[in-house]
């Protein structure tokens, strides 16, 4: 059990005392640390499990932890209310306050805020053309392309198997099908000058930007593309009429809320006339995914909000080929969709201004998706066993790929971290590399490798495991591939802390776009840090014992190599 002293910025764990200023003292960071808005006040909030109700005390705690700026505005700002008195009462030294101010102004000087017209200030004269330059647009589009994850392609050869051919009758269906705002992310600036920043602008689509509908229509040359949302939500006036609930984002307006399914007969007609349906669903920024906003997390799950699941069930009943595009920046329960094995499934994130362009290009095979799922998509029943008010990653059934099912190994997600398919196939060969060896037989190589590993245990910067990863495109579609490299502790020292994660991502290899039959070779070296765990004293320790290095390609385990560490080595200590 540890206790914290806000006055002298120390933590007591039994008889051990340690400086909690890891960022400054240990990592040597000299920049500005700013709180999230309301975070300093949140220290004393019972909602967040705060340990104190004294505003002076929480202000001192934050300042002593090197937080230079309290973001909160007006009367909620703990610093403006308390730090003057803290200095007067000698609870806080003037030197500490001046150090915080100096860091703030140093950062502002480095950003050029005080010499806007100076020739040497790179930020002082940026034009709109510079900010939205062709280079920036190209980078944005490529980022959107590489972010797209193909979780599943059709297991058949029907109209829904990706990539599509132009000239089809395509029905874009769903609340995100004709939205441009959904791709922009939270806290974005005004993109379309005509829209301005009037009240409610954040909930409106932005006419100068594309939507999935507009981009699918462009690429479906010779075909016919139609759209129906099938969803409705309150108008802006209706959503804001109730002042008491004005901040409740579930009252936000628009089709993206999908509170009600509408025009069922028109959905039926639109789908019946189509060769294939693109179902565009997910989470809507400022509606079901934003600050102070989330989907319901109940014993029923954490599924798609509103009536989106009912819309998906309706399409299943209509027995048309369906391609699902789920827009979200986080995991969302989708058990029903996961069960539809003949429905291709794309998870593209939000994608920014070029998100719709990249998705449409992927649908029509202008490139092959190559992204890997950056989070775990849990089954909906996970929500019943995992309370969101408990921040521990081991609470309930566990969170993230490292801890999900660590107590119950049979517990599997709908889609696991790192999943992702391609329009082609790859062969990945993994060989152990023996560095610093120029000759001799295999026994000599292995003996020298053991010596090298012992050297590495003495010098933490050296590699303890080296591999050559050769990736070959064995299909007929140009594509990039990504191999994830996990470390799994098998039989290690009893001194290692418990519980222990199921796996840890140590490295990855991403190839350039490979033409059919082309290969790419990468050399991977893992240091002791790849095998280390953090103990209860805050030390990073690589414990002795046997580890498995797993090479994984989008859900398929390709190879396994064992690594034996001879002794416990402290990699980093506070």
More confident of the two residues 230 and 443: 230
pLDDT at 174: 94
**% pLDDT > 70, the chain:** 78
pLDDT of the residue at 185: 76
Read off the pLDDT band of 73 (50, 70, 90).
confident
Answer yes or no: are the C-beta atoms of 226 and 273 closer than 8 Å.
yes
Q: What is the mean pLDDT of residues 514-520?
A: 98
Beta-carbon contacts of residue 250 (< 8 Å; ≥ 6 apart)? 257, 287, 288, 293
H helix intervals, 459-560 = none
Kindly state the tokens that stand for 434.
Answer: 């023996």
Question: Which residue matches tokens 């070029």?
Answer: 354
Which has more confidence, 329 or 414? Answer: 414
* CA triple 396-553-341, angle to 5 deg: 70
Look at residue 446 and tell me whether its pLDDT is greater than 70: no
Q: Is the pLDDT score of 415 beyond 60?
A: yes
Whole-angstrom distance, CA of residue 489 vs CA of residue 532: 10
pTM of this prediction?
0.85
Q: How confident is the model at residue 18 (pLDDT cuts 50, 70, 90)?
A: very low
Mean pLDDT of 433-438: 51
Calculate mean pLDDT across residues 256-265.
86
Q: Are 540 and 571 in contact (CB under 8 A)?
A: yes
**Helix (H, G, I), strand (E, B), or coil: what is residue 415?**
strand
Residue 470 clears pLDDT 70, i.e. is over it: yes
Average pLDDT for 426-444: 67
Contacts of 236 (CB under 8 A, 6+ apart): 200, 203, 253
Range with the lowest mean pLDDT among 150-164, 229-243, 246-260, 382-396?
Answer: 246-260
Q: With contact defined as beta carbons under 8 Å apart, do 524 and 558 qualify? A: no
What is the rounded average pLDDT for all residues in the chain?
Answer: 83
Mean pLDDT, to the nearest integer, of 14-38? 70
Most confident listed range (195-204, 376-385, 448-457): 376-385
Phi and psi angles of residue 401, each rounded to the nearest 5 degrees, phi first: -65, -20
**Mean pLDDT to the nearest integer, 133-158:** 90
- Which pLDDT belongs to residue 142? 96
pLDDT, tens digit, for every residue of 81-132?
899 999 999 999 999 999 999 999 998 888 878 876 666 677 667 777 777 7
Q: What is the pLDDT of residue 383?
A: 86
Average pLDDT of span 19-42:
81
- pLDDT value at residue 264: 94
Distances (CA, A) of 134 to 129, 183, 214, 338, 566: 8, 20, 21, 39, 54
Task: Identify the residue with better confidence: 295 or 23.
Answer: 23
pLDDT value at residue 525: 92
Greater model confidence, 288 or 515: 515
pLDDT of residue 158: 66
Give the per-residue pLDDT at 336.
Answer: 95
User: Residue 246: is the preceding peptide bond cis (ω within 30°)?
Assistant: no
Q: Regarding beta strands 482-492 and 504-510, do their DSSP bridges make them parallel or antiparallel, or are they unpaired?
A: antiparallel
């Amino acid at each position: 059990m540890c206790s914290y002293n806000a006055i002298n910025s120390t933590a007591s764990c039994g008889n051990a005392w340690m400086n909690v200023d890891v960022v400054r003292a240990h990592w040597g960071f000299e920049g500005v640390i700013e709180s999230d808005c309301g975070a300093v006040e949140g220290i004393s909030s019972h909602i967040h499990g705060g340990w104190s109700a004294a505003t002076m005390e929480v202000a001192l705690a934050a300042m002593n932890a090197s937080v230079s700026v309290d973001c909160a505005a007006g009367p909620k700002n703990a610093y403006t209310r308390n730090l003057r008195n803290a200095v007067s009462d000698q609870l806080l030294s003037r030197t500490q306050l001046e150090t915080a101010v100096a860091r703030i102004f140093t950062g502002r000087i480095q950003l050029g805020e005080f010499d806007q017209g100076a020739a040497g200030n790179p930020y002082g004269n940026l034009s709109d053309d510079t900010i939205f330059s062709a280079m920036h647009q190209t980078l944005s589009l490529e980022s959107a392309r590489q972010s797209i994850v193909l979780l599943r392609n059709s297991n058949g050869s029907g109209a829904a198997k990706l990539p599509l051919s132009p000239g089809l009758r395509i029905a874009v269906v769903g609340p995100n099908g004709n939205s441009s705002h959904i791709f922009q992310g939270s806290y974005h600036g005004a993109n379309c000058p005509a829209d301005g920043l009037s009240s409610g602008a954040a909930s409106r689509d932005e006419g100068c930007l594309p939507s999935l509908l507009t981009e699918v229509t462009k690429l479906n040359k010779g075909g016919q593309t139609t759209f129906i949302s099938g969803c409705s939500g309150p108008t802006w006036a209706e959503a804001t009429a109730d002042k008491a609930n004005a901040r409740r984002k579930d009252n936000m307006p628009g089709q993206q809320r999908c509170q009600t399914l509408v025009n069922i007969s028109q959905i039926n007609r639109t789908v019946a006339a189509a060769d294939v349906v693109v179902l565009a669903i997910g989470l809507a920024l400022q509606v079901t995914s934003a600050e102070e906003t989330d989907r319901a997390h109940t014993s029923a799950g954490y599924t798609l909000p509103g009536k989106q699941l009912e819309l998906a069930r309706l399409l299943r009943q209509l027995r048309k080929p369906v391609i699902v595009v789920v827009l979200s920046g986080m995991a969302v329960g989708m058990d029903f969709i996961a069960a539809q094995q003949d429905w291709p499934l794309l998870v593209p994130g939000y994608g920014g201004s070029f998100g719709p362009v990249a998705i449409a290009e992927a649908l029509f095979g202008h490139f092959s998706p190559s992204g890997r799922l950056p989070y775990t998509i849990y089954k909906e029943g996970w929500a019943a066993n995992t309370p969101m008010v408990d921040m521990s990653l081991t609470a309930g059934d566990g969170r993230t790929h490292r801890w999900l099912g660590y107590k119950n190994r049979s517990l599997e997600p709908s889609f696991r971290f790192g999943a992702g398919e391609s329009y082609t196939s790859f062969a990945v060969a993994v060989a152990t590399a023996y560095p610093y060896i120029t000759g001799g037989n295999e026994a000599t190589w292995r003996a020298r490798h053991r010596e090298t590993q012992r050297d590495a245990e003495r010098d933490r910067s050296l590699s303890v495991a080296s591999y050559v990863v050769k990736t070959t495109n064995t299909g007929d579609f140009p594509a990039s591939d990504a191999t994830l490299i996990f470390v799994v502790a098998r039989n290690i020292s009893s001194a290692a802390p418990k519980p222990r994660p199921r796996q840890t991502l140590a490295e990855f290899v991403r190839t350039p776009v490979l033409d059919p039959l082309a290969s790419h070779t990468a050399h991977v070296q893992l240091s002791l840090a790849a095998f280390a765990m953090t103990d209860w004293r805050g030390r990073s320790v690589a414990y002795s014992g046997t580890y498995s290095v797993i090479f994984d390609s989008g859900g398929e385990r390709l190879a396994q190599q064992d690594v034996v560490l001879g002794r416990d080595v402290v990699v980093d200590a506070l």
